[in-house]
Structure 1
Amino acid sequence: MRIAFLTAPEGVEQIELTEPWQAAKDAGHEPVLVSTKSGEIQAFDHLDKADTFPVDEVVGETSAGSFGGLVLPGGVANPDFLRMDEKAVAFVRDFFDRGRPVAAICHAPWTLVEADVVRGRELTSWPSLQTDIRNAGGTWVDEQVKIDDNGAGKLVTSRKPDDLKAFCDAFLHVFAEGAG
Structure 2
Amino acid sequence: MPLAVNPGEKESRPRRERAHIKRFVARFLGSGPSRRPLLETMGALEGAWGYRGTIERAVSMGWLPDASDAAIGHSIEDVAGLYKDMIDGGERLDKHVSGRSAWWVIRSRRGLLIAVISVENEDLLPPEPMKIDYSSYLKEKETMTVLEYDFRGDRGLLHLSVDTFIDTGNIPYRGFRLYVVT
Q: One fold, TM greater than 0.5?
A: no
Higher Cα Rg, which structure: 2
Q: Name the one with the larger helix percent.
A: 1
Larger relative strand fraction: 1
